[in-house]
Amino acid sequence: MCICKKNCTFANKFLNDMTYLVIRFSTVGSVAMLYPLISSLSAHYPHDKFVVVSESLQALFGNMPNVDFVDAKAEKGRWKTTRMWSLSKKLKRDYDIDYVVDLQDSRASQFLRRLLWSSCKEVVVMKKHRKRRELLIKQGYAKSEPLLTEFELYRDAFAEVGLEAKFDFDVLPHDKEADLRINLLFGNKPAEEKWIGIAPFAKHKTNMLPYKLLKTVINDLSKRQQTKIFLFGAGEIENEILNQWASVYDNTYSISGKYSLKEELSLMRQLDLMVCMDSANQHFASLVGLRALTIWCGTHPYAGFYGWKQSPEDCMQKELPCRPCTLHGKEKCRLGTFECQDFSADEIIKRADQCLNKQELN
């Protein structure tokens, strides 16, 4: 057997104890979409080490014995040169890295992988197919084919380092402490009740509906007997708004900013449906096997950011030639009309009822 395992590819493959550094700084939704792949790889390659470097969702990756999470969040939200130097030194000190898999390909990740290049065997960068993405926005979805999903892009990047992702991930494992706390707060859901999660916000204006419309949906659903509404969000402003809405509408509870991610996921397991925009909450719902009715405005599922194992039939969107005008969201409509947000409360409630009744949507 080769003694110099660190520098011998044959020995590493024979011993099957490689270390893969995975860079995926943001966004929250994209980091959540990484979990099914890492979970699958972790199970199929138990002797390998996977080090996930990210700004968010540390709680997601803590339940796998061969997966480490390294917090890469920068001070004041800015990626500084000194921060990348410090991060690279920490990674070199703590891990004997064999491969770097860059799933971000941003300026920050490019700089970090250059700093790590000399201390690893190979660096692989996920192909984002930017020209295809630009063409989708330019031509519109009606004249385009669906792009590869984010899950498929992640899979292809790992294939370049010789790892096969079988994608046999089902749902996140239970967290007993979080389950207990949620049970103490809200009790066991009675079989006759309907618990509905609503995540009304998104990071960008083109990804969300007007407040007035959302409030009408919440109001109408909250008046139903044996129904509870749980409002999900993040950030101080969203917390304040959702707390206010919860105080106004019957049987409505704001979850925003009150519980840990594990506790929010535990609550989601008990829900019958999540109604949300194209936002991170569709991905959180997907990880616990919760059906999500997603509303897409400026963005489009063709860009590849749909939730894990969610059905495209559970997607609400307007058939407009200008869509998608963005991949991730922006603040302005290029036509100035925001026609993509032209839904009625009755439309949304009708589709939600179909989901609650386990009907297939057309």
pLDDT digits (tens, 9 = 90+) for 113-171: 999 999 999 999 999 999 999 999 999 999 999 999 999 999 999 999 999 988 989 99
Note down the domain range covering 86.
15-159
Domain at 227, CATH number = 3.40.50.2000
Q: Looking at this protein, which amino acid is placed at residue 64?
A: M
- 145 and 243, same domain (yes or no): no
- 201 and 321, same domain (yes or no): yes
For the record, the structure tokens of 113 come out as 């992988």
- 349 and 211, same domain (yes or no): yes
Residue 165 lies in a domain: no
- 130 and 259, same domain (yes or no): no
For the record, the structure tokens of 300 come out as 């489009």
Segment 242-262 shows an average pLDDT of: 96
- Of 98, 124, 159, the residue at which a domain comes to its end is 159
Residue 236 lies in a domain: yes
- pTM reported for the whole predicted model: 0.92
Segment 306-310 shows an average pLDDT of: 95
- 200 and 327, same domain (yes or no): yes
> In the block, which residue shows the tokens 């989601």?
268
The burial of 248, by beta-carbon neighbours within 10 Å (0-12 exposed, 13-18 middle, 19 or more buried), is given as: exposed
CA distance 92 to 18: 15
Residue 327 lies in a domain: yes
Whether 1 shows a pLDDT value over 50: the answer reads no
- 342 and 255, same domain (yes or no): yes
CA distance 139 to 154: 25
pLDDT for res 359: 57
Residue 250 lies in a domain: yes
- 258 and 329, same domain (yes or no): yes
- 188 and 85, same domain (yes or no): no
For the record, the structure tokens of 26 come out as 């943001």
- 205 and 341, same domain (yes or no): yes
Task: Count up the domains in the chain and report the number.
Answer: 2
> Kind of pairing, strands 252-254 and 273-277?
unpaired
> Kind of pairing, strands 67-71 and 49-54?
parallel
Residue 56 lies in a domain: yes
Give the bridge partners for 195, in sequence order: 228
Write the pLDDT tens digit of every residue in 321-360.
999 999 999 999 989 999 999 999 999 999 999 999 985 5
- 213 and 308, same domain (yes or no): yes
- 121 and 255, same domain (yes or no): no
Residue 44 lies in a domain: yes
Residue 7 lies in a domain: no
Distances, alpha carbon 341 to alpha carbons 62, 113, 137, 143, in Å: 38, 40, 18, 21
- 331 and 259, same domain (yes or no): yes
The DSSP call for residue 332 is: -
Residue 120 lies in a domain: yes
Q: Give the largest CA-CA distance in the chain.
A: 71
Write the pLDDT tens digit of every residue in 10-48.
444 444 599 999 999 999 999 999 999 999 999 999 999
